[in-house]
């Protein structure tokens, strides 16, 4: 498959302020955006601002470099590149980028830590029972 075919197959649409990539919902936060409270979302989230509270999503969580998060995070694949304080649960894989600073306990199936990332907390790896999201 060449590049043009790959681009043609990837469809992006915006409906009601919500980005849909290949039919999957994605909540986008910009660098100046602030989210305070609890977000339970059937999709993925990209956080590039300040988050305080709790985020539970069915899809993936991406915390951008420069983001400041003080929250409980739960998602399928979680990629952290900014500062995160709080418990993190990745039902599949947690990736800590080279600038990630994580302070809190993590529960993951798989873990990747890039050189330069810091993690302070307890790590629990392997298969685990999914916690009820409606807490």
pLDDT digits (tens, 9 = 90+) for 29-50: 999 999 999 999 999 999 999 9
Residue 121: phi, psi to the nearest 5? 155, 180
Distance of CA 79 to the CA centre of its chain: 5
Check residue 128 and give its pLDDT. 63
DSSP summary character for residue 9: H
pLDDT digits (tens, 9 = 90+) for 59-108: 999 999 999 999 999 999 999 999 999 999 999 999 999 999 999 999 99
How far is residue 79 from each of residues 17, 21, 36, 74, 106, measured CA to CA in Å? 23, 18, 20, 11, 13
pTM for the model: 0.79
Q: Are 74 and 133 in contact (CB under 8 A)?
A: yes
- Helix or strand or coil: residue 6? helix
DSSP result, 73-120:
EEEEEEEE-SEEES-EEEEEEEEE-TT-EEES-EEEEEEEE-TT-EEE
Of the pLDDT bands very low, low, confident and very high (cuts 50, 70, 90), residue 21 is low
pLDDT digits (tens, 9 = 90+) for 111-126: 999 999 999 999 999 8
Tell me how far apart the alpha carbons of residues 25 and 111 are, in angstroms, rounded to a whole number.
25
Q: Are 44 and 59 in contact (CB under 8 A)?
A: yes
């Amino acid at each position: 498959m060449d590049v043009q075919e790959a681009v043609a197959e990837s469809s992006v649409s915006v409906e009601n302020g919500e980005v849909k990539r290949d039919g999957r919902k994605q909540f986008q936060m910009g660098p100046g955006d602030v989210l305070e409270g609890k977000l339970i979302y059937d999709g993925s989230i990209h956080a590039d601002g300040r988050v305080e509270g709790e985020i539970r999503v069915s899809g993936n969580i991406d915390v951008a470099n420069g983001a400041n998060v003080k929250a409980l995070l739960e998602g399928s694949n979680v990629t952290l590149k900014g500062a995160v304080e709080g418990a993190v649960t990745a039902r599949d894989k947690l990736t800590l980028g080279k600038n990630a600073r994580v302070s809190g306990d993590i529960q993951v199936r798989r873990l990747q830590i890039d050189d330069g990332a810091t993690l302070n907390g307890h790590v629990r790896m392997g298969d685990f029972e999914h916690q009820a999201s409606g807490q």
